[in-house]
């Protein structure tokens, strides 16, 4: 009989601890929400697109025409 009472007390204590952990978890206001994560991802995508557009404009307008001209001058065997 004492063994059964001890088991019941242990079970009750475990349930009380579990409910206390659940209560604390529900009351916890720290952490990161879905909106915060979505905003961070959106900012990263926009900044990446701007960086890619800037690099494309730089290479398309500045680097590639100069590179093409230099390669043509390097292989110009006419004179």
Q: Are residues 21 and 56 in the same domain?
A: no
**Stretch (H or E) spanning 5:** helix 2-27
Q: Are residues 59 and 21 in the same domain?
A: no
Domains in the chain, number: 2
How many CB atoms neighbour CB 8 within 10 A?
A: 10
What radius of gyration, in Å, describes the C-alpha atoms of the chain?
A: 34
Q: Are residues 21 and 54 in the same domain?
A: no
Q: Could you read off the pLDDT of 44-65 as tens digits, one per residue? A: 999 999 999 998 888 888 777 8
pLDDT on residue 16: 94
Q: Are residues 66 and 53 in the same domain?
A: yes
Angle at 2 between CA 19 and CA 10, to 5 degrees: 15
Q: Are residues 18 and 36 in the same domain?
A: no
Q: Could you read off the pLDDT of 1-48 as tens digits, one per residue? A: 888 889 999 999 999 999 999 999 888 877 777 888 899 999 999 999
């Amino acid at each position: 009989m004492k063994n059964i009472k001890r088991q019941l007390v242990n079970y009750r204590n475990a349930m009380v601890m579990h409910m206390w952990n659940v209560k604390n978890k529900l009351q916890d206001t720290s952490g990161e929400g879905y909106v915060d994560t979505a905003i961070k991802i959106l900012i990263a995508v926009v900044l990446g697109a701007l960086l890619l557009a800037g690099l494309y404009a730089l290479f398309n307008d500045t680097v590639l025409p100069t590179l093409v001209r230099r390669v043509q001058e390097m292989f110009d065997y006419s004179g």
